[in-house]
Every structure is written in structure tokens, then in C-alpha cells.
Structure 1
Amino acid sequence: MQYYGICPASCGELIQGQIESGEYLSSYCVSLYSKAIITEQTSSNTRLTTYPKSIMAMKKTFEFFNEEKALKNLSLEMVSNIPRSKGMASSTADIGAVIGASCAYLGIDISPDDASKIAAKIEPTDSIYYKSLVAMNPLNGNLIKNIGNIRGLKTLILEPRAKIKTKDVRNKLGYSEFKKSNILKYNEILGDFESAIKSNNLKELGKAVNKSSLLNEHLLPKPYLKEVMDIAMSLGAYGVNIAHSGSVVGILLDINDSSANYKSELINNNLAKYFGRMYCLPVIDGGINYGRMS
């Protein structure tokens, strides 16, 4: 018998910062996926993926539900088309897919809240397990607030060759001090972001996103961010978001807007040399899908 879990990627975060209760972020999902497959075997030979975090996700899911299931007689395979170490939640998606497949194997449903808490025990996590946009604490997986849905968006993803590890950003000298010293600004960004979502105002959403991108430049500078932002806004984009602990940049566009003009301007300004890949994906609902394979 086989069981699957599927989880989407993100293109960085729309906003990320810190409030009085701790850190927050709000990720959005795009149509790239990680898939986990758990297979029950008749032999005692256990075949597991080479990704240690995926194995840990399976173990911690069993522990969370107090299931004494051993990994014996199980195989775990991972399939993903999400770029690695770019800030697209590849690791969080892997973990989410494994959590989903593990729950399908156990015959148990899991909430986004509980999945996020399991993931946060492994590493700082993203908010991609929720169907809608939320603000959550990436360090403990606690939900701060459910914000709402956005419709009619796609993103032009600018993916450079540079790879960045989240832990390297968090270990940077002055990281925590900067966030704590800017709590008022981060509070304002979160408030503006929430108001924009509640009123379905994509232009105001873009303004909040831009503020977050620029403020967090102090923590992880993005080459050519100002140039990208100038081009994007001049052509009518809603905003430009970043991976706050990764290298990708996303230009937020109306679903009916053509990305061709944006690509042309980026190429004309020699930015394609740094951003090796430029491709457009729809913004989709988040969440982990899981079940038994036929």
C-alpha cells in the first residue's frame, strides 16, 4: 500500500518581521510542489530518502500522535520540482509532504496549526500549510492571525544562481537586534498588509510588500532590488516581494497582465545576467494534500 503527501512551494514571503510577541511572516504559494510517497513493504528492508529532515518529519509526526510505529517495513521517496536554497520553501514543502503522507499512513487528519508546530521542531518554517494567508511565527509554528485570501495574482519569479541557507541569515551579527529595534515599523507593515487583504486592495497590498522588502534589505541585501522595483512599478506591477532569507525575488502582477514587458525591460537593463531564470507562476492556495494511492 502507498500513501502520498503533496505540498506547494512559495516565492519567498510577502512580509516578514517582528512584533512584541515574536517573529512573524506571511508566505504565499506558487504552483511548484514537493511530493512524498510512503510505501508499506512485505520485507523488513527499510528504504528511506537521503533527506534527513524528511526522515525526521516522519518520526516527529508519529511522535506527535503518540504512535509507536517503527520505520521498519516502510520506504519513503521524495519528488520535487522546487529550486533548492533559493528561499522558495523547498525544505518546508518536503517536510509538509512527509507530514501529510505520514498522516495518510496513520489514517489521521492533521490541521495546519499542528503541521506547522511539527515542522518548527525541525527548522524555522513557512506558512504554506495554510490554505489562506496568515501571519505565523516561523520559530515555533504558532499562528498569530488568520488574514484572508487573495485572488487574481501571479508572480514573475526572478531566480538568481546564488544559494543561501536560512540558518546563515539568522546567525548574522545584529539580526535579532535589528528586528527588535524596528518593531514599530514591522507592526505598521503587518497592519497595512492585513487591511489590504481584508479590503481586497492589491495596490495597497503591494505597498506593504515593498515596505517589507526594503526594510529587510538591512538583513540580507538583494542585488539590484531597487532597479527591479523601479522597473516593476513603472510598468504597473502591484509590488515586489523577496525571500527574506533566500535569493529569489517576485514581481506581483495582475493575473491578466503579460509578463513579457517586464522580462524585456529586465533584459534591456542587463539584469538577466544576475537573475539566471525568469518565469511566471500563478499564486495559489496553500495547504497539504494527502491520501492513499490507488
Structure 2
Amino acid sequence: MLRGFGHAPCHFGELIQGVFRSDGGAVCRALVTLPMTEHGTSAHFTRIPDSGLGDIAVVNADRAKARRAAEITARRCAQLAGVRGSGGRLVLDSDVPVGIGMGSSTSDVLATIRAVASAFDVRLPPETTVSLAVEAETACDPLMLDERPVLFGPRNGRALEVLGPNLPPMVVLGCTTGNAAAVDTVSLPDVPVAAVEDYERLRTDVRRAVATGDVGLLGKACTHSARLNQSLLPKKEFEALEDIARRCGAAGVQVAHSGNVAGILLDARSPDLARCLEWGTTLLAQYDMTATVVFRAGGNPQSGTCVASNSARAVRREGVGAGVRPHR
């Protein structure tokens, strides 16, 4: 097989992110992402047998991490397949906005790894995919895992804990903060190790919320994590988001801890869901913010997909990250 295809979803920021204890007691950075499966990256890779391993042509010239992923994956797959290594041509197609905290680079990298493996007719085990992704971009999001809520270490590519089978059933009313400006994640300060006890309490709350299906408890944990993150990446709209969540009866607020998307979390089982969505959208507008997406997360097979309801259609017309150009 000389041609391969791969796809990877994105996420909508994090539910919690900070420092946590590993099994051995060491403190490390970790996060729980909010899956969003309707958007993502598709990758097409065509092997060129007469080329060298370093001869990777990327149509999307600015996707340096994807190029790196293609090179190291081609090398690994050639070894596993017992064939001569070769380069090729990589084409990416993505509707994930860049730099606002939706995992665009990991989506690119993971789709690339899958496309290259497909072109070599190699099935990569999950742990190999994770290690390749970390090698390609230094730190990665857990998009290669299923939608189970996982406390994941992005720098070592290791799951600290699977928190349960599914998130509680939620509907997320999403928006952007900071004028949807891209965030330089490299320049962000690290969470102080001394804060580990605060984050361990959040971990316990999320675990309990998942076990009991308690959207309210999960919302409180997300809001607390977002509030703690104000000392690292302050969002001037955060107090407004808290006020909106309170006034429309939402469970809480979640944010991209290293980006500019944010969401109002609503219980998908609430009989007042449609009214809460309408009121939340109105309140966002009153604070000069625009609702950009409404999607489901957790609790059902449609997790991470956009809501098909009258209250969501006007929001969906705006698109994810309104005013931000996806890359292709």
C-alpha cells in the first residue's frame, strides 16, 4: 500500500489542568480534556518508494510538527514492516482553529501518524502512537485515546488515571475569549508544585462526578480549575463567564488552560436545557461575547458532537472559533 489516510479529532480545552501525584508519588503536570469529535484533521500520505526517509513534502508548509511526525513514523513503520524506508507527500485538511486551545497540533500529528502507518500497512499499538506523538511535539493532548475521561500527562504521554467510563451528560455552550488570539504556550508559566493539594482535590471531585453522573459537581471542579488558571493565563472575561453560568442555571465554566476557548457547562438532562441555552447565548451577547458552538459531551454515543436543536442552530451558523481561520 502506497497511500494512507488518517483522521484525528480535537478537543475544546480542558476540564481541569494542573499538577498531580503519579503512582510513585512524584508531582507532574496533567490534564483532563473536553472531547469534541465533530471537528478535527484528516491526513493523506503518499509514499514515494525511490525517495529517502527525510524526503517528506508537506503541502501545508507551516505544519512543522506534522512533518516531524511523518518522518519519525515512516522510519518506525519501515522497521516494523521490514521494508526499505521512504519519504512521501503529506496533505492535511483541518477545520480546527490554530493556537486557541483546541489541540490543533496534536490533531495534525495524530492524523499524520495514522496516515503514514496506513501507507506502510502497519498497525501501531496505542503506546507506540503516544510515544511518536510526544516525540513529534514534545507535549501532546490525549486525542489518541477513546472518550473516557483520563487524567493525562502531556509531557510524558502517560495516563495517570482513567477516571471512569464516561463524563456525565453535558451540553456545552462555547465561546472564545481574548478576541480569539493565538496563545504562545511555550511562554506560559508552570503551575507551582506547591499547589498539588488543590489539584488533587479537583481530581477527587472529577472522579466522584464521573462515578455518580453529577454534572453540578463536575462544573464546580471545572470552574475552580479555571479560576486557579487565572494566575497563569488570565482571561478578562472570566468573571463575566461565571456570572453568565450562574444566571442561566449552568453547572459551571470550563476553559482552555493554554488557549482562548471557554464553555458554559449545562446538564443535558435538564428539562430547562433549551431555555438555558437561549438565555446563556443572550447573556454572552450582553457581555460582548459571541456563542460559537453548542455540543454534547459525555453520557451517550454522540459525545463531542454538535447539538441539533432549534436553540443551537443560530449558534452553529457562527462556526467554531468565529473569526479564526482553520488551516488547510
| TM-score range relative to shorter protein | 0.7 to 0.9
Q: Mapping of 1:119-130 within 5 angstroms? A: 119-121=133-135, 122-130=137-145
Q: Structure 2 unaligned runs (5+)? A: 305-328
> Is 24-33 or 35-44 further displaced after alignment?
35-44
Q: Structure 1 unaligned runs (5+)? A: 287-294
Distance in 1 (CA, whole Å) between partners of 2:153 and 2:49 is: 41
Residues 207, 46 of structure 1: CA spacing in aligned structure 2 closer, same or farther, 3 A cutoff? Answer: closer
Q: Shift of residue 88 of structure 1?
A: 0.5
Equivalent residue, structure 2, for 1:163 = 182
Equivalent residue, structure 2, for 1:52 = 64
C-alpha RMSD of matched pairs (Å): 2.3
Q: Shift of residue 56 of structure 1?
A: 0.7
Out of 192, 199, 203, the position equivalent to 1:186 is 199
Q: Shift of residue 217 of structure 1?
A: 1.0
Distance in 2 (CA, whole Å) between partners of 1:114 and 1:187 is: 29
Distance in 1 (CA, whole Å) between partners of 2:56 and 2:194 is: 50
Q: Shift of residue 134 of structure 1?
A: 0.5
Equivalent residue, structure 2, for 1:38 = 45
Q: Shift of residue 71 of structure 1?
A: 4.1
Instruction: Give the AA of the match of 1:227.
Output: A
Q: Shift of residue 25 of structure 1?
A: 0.5
Equivalent residue, structure 2, for 1:152 = 169
Out of 230, 251, 255, the position equivalent to 2:264 is 251
Asked if 2 retains the 8 angstrom alpha-carbon contact of 1:154 and 1:281, the reply is yes
Identity of aligned residues (%): 26
Asked if 1 retains the 8 angstrom alpha-carbon contact of 2:215 and 2:266, the reply is no
Post-superposition CA distance 1:16-38 (Å, at most 9, x none): 11123311111121121111111
Distance in 2 (CA, whole Å) between partners of 1:96 and 1:102 is: 10
Asked if 2 retains the 8 angstrom alpha-carbon contact of 1:117 and 1:142, the reply is no
Q: Shift of residue 239 of structure 1?
A: 1.9
Post-superposition CA distance 1:122-179 (Å, at most 9, x none): 232112221111111111111111122125323222123211021121xx3xx3xx42
Instruction: Give the AA of the match of 1:187.
Output: E
Instruction: Give the AA of the match of 1:239.
Output: G
Structure 2-normalised TM-score? 0.77
Residues 129, 28 of structure 1: CA spacing in aligned structure 2 closer, same or farther, 3 A cutoff? Answer: farther
Distance in 1 (CA, whole Å) between partners of 2:242 and 2:197 is: 24
Residues 55, 71 of structure 1: CA spacing in aligned structure 2 closer, same or farther, 3 A cutoff? Answer: farther
Asked if 2 retains the 8 angstrom alpha-carbon contact of 1:23 and 1:138, the reply is yes
Distance in 1 (CA, whole Å) between partners of 2:3 and 2:127 is: 25
Residues 112, 252 of structure 1: CA spacing in aligned structure 2 closer, same or farther, 3 A cutoff? Answer: farther
> Is 131-140 or 147-156 further displaced after alignment?
147-156
> Is 13-22 or 79-88 further displaced after alignment?
13-22
SS in structure 2 at match of 1:83: coil
Out of 71, 85, 91, the position equivalent to 2:99 is 85
Instruction: Give the AA of the match of 2:69.
Output: A
Out of 196, 218, 242, the position equivalent to 1:205 is 218
SS in structure 2 at match of 1:75: strand
Q: Shift of residue 79 of structure 1?
A: 0.3
> Is 211-220 or 245-254 further displaced after alignment?
245-254
How many aligned positions are there?
Answer: 275
Asked if 1 retains the 8 angstrom alpha-carbon contact of 2:13 and 2:33, the reply is yes
Structure 1-normalised TM-score? 0.85
SS in structure 2 at match of 1:182: helix
Distance in 1 (CA, whole Å) between partners of 2:303 and 2:84 is: 32
- 2:156 aligned with 1:140, yes or no? yes
Residues 13, 104 of structure 1: CA spacing in aligned structure 2 closer, same or farther, 3 A cutoff? Answer: same
- 2:70 aligned with 1:29, yes or no? no
Asked if 2 retains the 8 angstrom alpha-carbon contact of 1:10 and 1:88, the reply is yes
Asked if 2 retains the 8 angstrom alpha-carbon contact of 1:54 and 1:95, the reply is yes
> Is 108-117 or 9-18 further displaced after alignment?
108-117
Distance in 2 (CA, whole Å) between partners of 1:235 and 1:167 is: 35
Residues 209, 124 of structure 1: CA spacing in aligned structure 2 closer, same or farther, 3 A cutoff? Answer: same
Asked if 1 retains the 8 angstrom alpha-carbon contact of 2:170 and 2:296, the reply is yes
Residues 60, 42 of structure 1: CA spacing in aligned structure 2 closer, same or farther, 3 A cutoff? Answer: closer
